[in-house]
Structure 1
Amino acid sequence: MHTNYYFLRQLAPVLQARLQGLYFMECFSQDRDEVVLAFAQARGKANYYKPVFVKVTLRPDFSGILVSDDVRRARTNSVDLFNNLTGNEGGDDPDRPGMETPGKAVLGVRSFLNERCLAVQLADDYTLLFKFFGNRPNLLIFRENNVEDLFNSKLVADKNLLLNAIDRPIDQSERAFNAAGGDYRKLFPTFGKLVRAYVEKRAQEAGAGVTWALLQDVLRELDAPTYSLIRFEHHPALSLVPLVEPVRTWNDPIEATNGFFIAYNGQNVVERERAEVLRLIDKRLKRARALMDANLQRLISRDDGPSHEELGNLLMANLHNVPVLPGGRSPETITVEDFYRDNRPQTIRLKVDQTPQRNAEGYYRKAKNEKIEAEHLTQQIEYREKEIEELQVHRALIEPMLSLKELRRYVKQHGLLGDAPASTDPAELFKEVQYEGFVIRIGRNAKNNDLLTQRYAYKDDLWLHARDVSGSHVVVKYKAGKPFPKTVIERAAELAAWYSKRRTDSLCPVIVTPKKFVRKPKGLAEGQVVVEKEDVVLVVPRGE
């Protein structure tokens, strides 16, 4: 939370008190992602008078602020920045003999509504803006409302930012909370991981979900916090809420940002790499447990009410009681005694355009598909259990490691990072939906789409894609001797529409064709293919 909105709005007035009456005297960088700003009352030929240094790290993986009275500048590999603001372009100050021309005077320090930004306001309508946006942090120089210069010029989009558009008003009223169905994340996107974890912890302890009263309690804590250094996801973190037992606490935000900055950057290489590996393992564990729980719930939900096999048996046992309508048609429903459940009444739905016997055959066909799906779910649960067990073993072995060489060898040997061996399990590689006994697979991105279409789809599989827009490739796996039912094709088309740029359209045209008519000539970008023959269906986009 060291760059969180709630912390920055408390840091701003305290930092302003430190910089009040000072001038922006010097700015330099001696590291690729680091900038040092010096503020002082005046400067002679060779020294500062009571300087205050603001050292800012702007790495994609970490950004933070250190406020200090002493920062040593390297004699080499150091470059001056923003000389037009610091006075370094001028010579002596004509009004003060023996003193150099001062830089721009500090007028104030401010934060921005619901944003991770901090600004030092200077004379002549200049503003130094620290932008702490995730993996895109930067330092920008504004003149009035427009960007005049920036530290990281590779972040081209930053050049188009407007100073008066950075504040982000959000309706955070109780009415808006209720309208959002109690989804507090929409109202408070600035909470971040730490505060969200604290809110969920408080809600779990109360056993009443996230209520408006709970959110108000948390906001009051954020307004008057004790700043705590904690361990979160195996890294040092600065917290404004009592999430876990703190390592250290502060009452002053400058002391807090300095203490956290030193603690985070003071980790040695082994600690940093071990923490990152453990974080990724925990992420994979969380995902595996969630997938296993979802499969368990699907398996359990199948036990609710009569199975399709039971309905088929009940229907066959009561064929003599089913009135046959003209043309061999059936009524919409029939109520029979359920001999599986103490002869309680059981209503069976029938397809009116089929005979009672064909309706029973339909239930038996669905029962067969149910068994196939149950076997698949059981296999997936066993696979996840094995994965969780392996990850827990890796975690237990990595936690005590102190040797960098040993850590890196183990990680590479077991493929725990980017060099992990590619999974060959389609259920792991792609989104997968079971529908009426057919397996529907969905690509996750452009590269994953190519993998699905080129390596995991065969000529008789059915291939679908939303027409004329980017989106996921969808494949329905062929079952020997069985045509694709219309209901399965429509469901796969709904998924193809949902996982495309047409998700919000009321109707979406979807290409449907056997995989053998889809090819990828050399030179096409990732995810692009050529379809030689196609049919089109119109569906309403619908997700899983």
Structure 2
Amino acid sequence: MHTNYYFLRQLAPALATRLDGLYLMECFSQDRDEVVLAFAQARGKANYYKPFFIKATLRPDFSGLLFADDVRRARTNSVDLFDDLTGNDSGEDPDRPGMEQPGKAVLGVRSFLNERCLGIELADGYTLVFKFFGNRPNLLIFRENEVVDLFNQKLAADQTLRLDGLDRPIDQSEAAFEAAGHDYRKLFPTFGKLVRTYLEQRTQEAGTGVTWPLLQSVVQLLENPTYRLVTFEHRPTLALVPIGETRRTYDDPIEAANGFFIAFNGQNVVERERAEVLRLLDKRLKRAQTLLDANLQRLISRDEGPSHDELGNLLMANLHNVPTLPGGRSPETITVEDFYRDNHPVTIRLKPDLSPQRNAEGYYRKAKNEKIEAEHLQQQIDGREAEMAQLAAHRAAIEPIQSLKELRRYVKQHNLLTENAASTDPAELFKEVQVDGFTIRIGRNAKNNDLLTQRYTYKEDLWLHARDVSGSHVVIKYRAGKPFPKTVIERAAELAAWYSKRRTDSLCPVIVTPKKFVRKPKGLAEGQVVVEKEDVVLVVPRG
């Protein structure tokens, strides 16, 4: 949380006090992703009084600030930046003979509403803005409202930012929370992963969803924090909420920022790489546990109430009680005594356009598919348990390793850094749904769509995609000698519509075609394909 909005809001007034009365005297870089700002009171030529430094690391994989009273500048490979602000090469101050022309005076420090930015306001309408946007951190120089210079010139889109556009007003009232369907992320996008994890822990302890009082209690913690240096997901982390293993606490945000910066960058290579591998293994373990719980729940739910086989038997045993309607039709339901469960009454749904015998045949057919699905679920459960055991064994083997060579050898030998390397099971790689004995697979993203269509789909399979919009590839797996039922195609089309940009449409057109008519010519972007022949169905998006 060292670049989180709530921390920067605490840091701004503390830094304003520290910079009060100082001038920006130097700005230089001695590393491609690092910039150093030196603030001081002008004392005389080449001399500063009580300098204060801000060292900003602005790498795509890590950004942060270190505050120091001394930074040693290298004699080589060092370049001055932003001369217009620092007073470099401006010579002697005409108002103070014998003294060097100072840089721009610091007027204040500010944060930005609901945004990960920190601004240092200087004289003559200049503002230095540290922008901590994910993997695109940067230092921007504004003059009034316009960007006039950048530290990282490759982030050309930063040139279009406006100072008055960095504030992000959001209605965070209880009424807005209710209107959002209790989806707090829409109101508080600045929480970040750490706070969301803490909030989820609190909801699990309370056994409820996110309530407004709980949400307000978390906001109060963020606005009146204890700064904690913790270990979270095997890495040093600055936290404003009680989470992870606490290593040290701070009362001052500048000290907290320094403590985190030193701890994070002080990790040796073995610690950093081991933490990354353990974090990845924990992520896979959590995903496998979620899938295992879902499969167990589906298996358990099948045992609730009569099975399709039992319903077929009950219907056949009560054929004499089913009234025959004109044209040999059946009523929509019939209530009979369930001799499997102490003769408790059970209501059996019937298709009116079929005879009672044909309805019973339908239940027996579903029972056969039900058995196939149960066997499939049990295979998935067994596979998940074996996968989790393997992942746990990898964790146990990696945690005590102290040698970088040994760690890298183990990781390479077991291919642990490759996404989804722990399994080649399609149920692990893709979302999977079972409908009437048919398997429906759904791609997770553009790259995953390609994997599904190119490597895990065959010419006999049926391929679906929402028409004219981006979305998931959906595949119905072919079963030998079995035509694709209309109900299965409609369900797959509903899923294709749901996992697309047309999710909120009332009706969505969905392409349906055999996989043999889908190809990917060389040069197409990830997830893009060419469909040579297609049918289209209209469905309501449904997940």
TM-score range, shorter chain: over 0.9
Kindly, what percent of the aligned residue pairs are identical? Answer: 82
**Contact 1:414–1:420 under 8 Å retained in 2:** no
Residue 444 of structure 1: SS of its match in structure 2?
coil
**AA of the residue aligned to 2:358:** R
**Contact 2:46–2:100 under 8 Å retained in 1:** no
Q: What's the offset of the Cα at 1:419? A: 7.8
Give the direction of change, closer, same or farther, for the CA distance of 1:493–1:403 in structure 2 (3 Å limit). same
Aligned to 1:446: 446
Aligned to 2:121: 121
Query: What CA distance in whole angstroms lies between the structure 1 residues aligned with 2:430 and 2:370?
Result: 22
Query: What CA distance in whole angstroms lies between the structure 2 residues aligned with 1:147 and 1:504?
Result: 38
Query: What CA distance in whole angstroms lies between the structure 1 residues aligned with 2:319 and 2:47?
Result: 102
**Contact 2:416–2:422 under 8 Å retained in 1:** no
Aligned to 2:56: 56
Q: What's the offset of the Cα at 1:157? A: 2.1
Aligned to 1:527: 527
Aligned to 1:67: 67
Residue 453 of structure 2: SS of its match in structure 1?
helix
1:247-258 maps to which residues of 2 (within 5 A)?
247-258=247-258
**AA of the residue aligned to 1:202:** R
**Contact 2:420–2:429 under 8 Å retained in 1:** no
Residue 42 of structure 2: SS of its match in structure 1?
coil
**AA of the residue aligned to 2:530:** V
Residue 47 of structure 2: SS of its match in structure 1?
coil
Structure 1 window deviating more from structure 2 (477-486 vs 184-193): it is 184-193
Query: What CA distance in whole angstroms lies between the structure 2 residues aligned with 1:320 and 1:78?
Result: 95
Pair 1:329-2:326 in alignment: no
Q: What's the offset of the Cα at 1:180? A: 3.1
The two structures have a TM-score, normalised by structure 2, of 0.96
Structure 1 window deviating more from structure 2 (453-462 vs 275-284): it is 453-462
Query: What CA distance in whole angstroms lies between the structure 2 residues aligned with 1:124 and 1:56?
Result: 23
Query: What CA distance in whole angstroms lies between the structure 1 residues aligned with 2:114 and 2:196?
Result: 15
Pair 1:16-2:30 in alignment: no
**Contact 2:473–2:496 under 8 Å retained in 1:** yes
Give the direction of change, closer, same or farther, for the CA distance of 1:500–1:434 in structure 2 (3 Å limit). same
Query: What CA distance in whole angstroms lies between the structure 2 residues aligned with 1:464 and 1:364?
Result: 29
**AA of the residue aligned to 1:196:** R
**Stretches of structure 2 lacking an aligned partner (at least 5 in a row):** none
Structure 1 window deviating more from structure 2 (378-387 vs 419-428): it is 419-428
Q: What's the offset of the Cα at 1:231? A: 0.8
Aligned to 1:110: 110
Query: What CA distance in whole angstroms lies between the structure 2 residues aligned with 1:427 and 1:244?
Result: 32
Aligned to 2:169: 169
Query: What CA distance in whole angstroms lies between the structure 2 residues aligned with 1:244 and 1:530?
Result: 48
Structure 1 window deviating more from structure 2 (336-345 vs 415-424): it is 415-424
Cα root mean square deviation, aligned: 1.7
Q: What's the offset of the Cα at 1:306? A: 1.0
Aligned to 1:392: 392
Pair 1:486-2:516 in alignment: no
Aligned to 2:465: 465
Aligned to 2:41: 41
Give the direction of change, closer, same or farther, for the CA distance of 1:528–1:192 in structure 2 (3 Å limit). closer
Aligned to 1:369: 369
Structure 1 window deviating more from structure 2 (330-339 vs 176-185): it is 176-185
Aligned to 2:346: 346
**Contact 2:387–2:423 under 8 Å retained in 1:** no
Structure 1 window deviating more from structure 2 (243-252 vs 102-111): it is 243-252
Query: What CA distance in whole angstroms lies between the structure 2 residues aligned with 1:50 and 1:471?
Result: 58
Aligned to 1:293: 293
Give the direction of change, closer, same or farther, for the CA distance of 1:516–1:207 in structure 2 (3 Å limit). closer
**AA of the residue aligned to 2:131:** K
Give the direction of change, closer, same or farther, for the CA distance of 1:454–1:195 in structure 2 (3 Å limit). closer
Residue 238 of structure 2: SS of its match in structure 1?
strand
Q: What's the offset of the Cα at 1:421? A: 4.7
Query: What CA distance in whole angstroms lies between the structure 1 residues aligned with 2:248 and 2:450?
Result: 50
**Contact 2:44–2:99 under 8 Å retained in 1:** yes
Query: What CA distance in whole angstroms lies between the structure 1 residues aligned with 2:396 and 2:158?
Result: 43
Residue 221 of structure 1: SS of its match in structure 2?
helix
Q: What's the offset of the Cα at 1:209? A: 4.4
Residue 49 of structure 2: SS of its match in structure 1?
coil
1:373-384 maps to which residues of 2 (within 5 A)?
373-384=373-384
Q: What's the offset of the Cα at 1:372? A: 0.9
**Contact 2:443–2:472 under 8 Å retained in 1:** yes
Query: What CA distance in whole angstroms lies between the structure 2 residues aligned with 1:48 and 1:11?
Result: 25
Query: What CA distance in whole angstroms lies between the structure 2 residues aligned with 1:393 and 1:414?
Result: 12
Query: What CA distance in whole angstroms lies between the structure 2 residues aligned with 1:475 and 1:5?
Result: 42
Give the direction of change, closer, same or farther, for the CA distance of 1:397–1:501 in structure 2 (3 Å limit). same
**AA of the residue aligned to 2:99:** M
1:274-285 maps to which residues of 2 (within 5 A)?
274-285=274-285
The two structures have a TM-score, normalised by structure 1, of 0.96
Query: What CA distance in whole angstroms lies between the structure 1 residues aligned with 2:225 and 2:529?
Result: 55
Aligned to 1:190: 190
Q: What's the offset of the Cα at 1:291? A: 0.6
Q: What's the offset of the Cα at 1:245? A: 4.8
Aligned length: 543
Residue 24 of structure 1: SS of its match in structure 2?
strand
Q: What's the offset of the Cα at 1:420? A: 7.2
**AA of the residue aligned to 1:499:** Y
Give the direction of change, closer, same or farther, for the CA distance of 1:459–1:241 in structure 2 (3 Å limit). closer
Structure 1 window deviating more from structure 2 (402-411 vs 147-156): it is 147-156
Pair 1:91-2:97 in alignment: no
Query: What CA distance in whole angstroms lies between the structure 2 residues aligned with 1:314 and 1:337?
Result: 8
Query: What CA distance in whole angstroms lies between the structure 2 residues aligned with 1:481 and 1:419?
Result: 35
**Contact 1:332–1:349 under 8 Å retained in 2:** yes
Pair 1:156-2:169 in alignment: no
Give the direction of change, closer, same or farther, for the CA distance of 1:399–1:534 in structure 2 (3 Å limit). same
**Contact 2:387–2:422 under 8 Å retained in 1:** no
**Contact 1:412–1:419 under 8 Å retained in 2:** no
Aligned to 1:267: 267
Give the direction of change, closer, same or farther, for the CA distance of 1:462–1:341 in structure 2 (3 Å limit). same
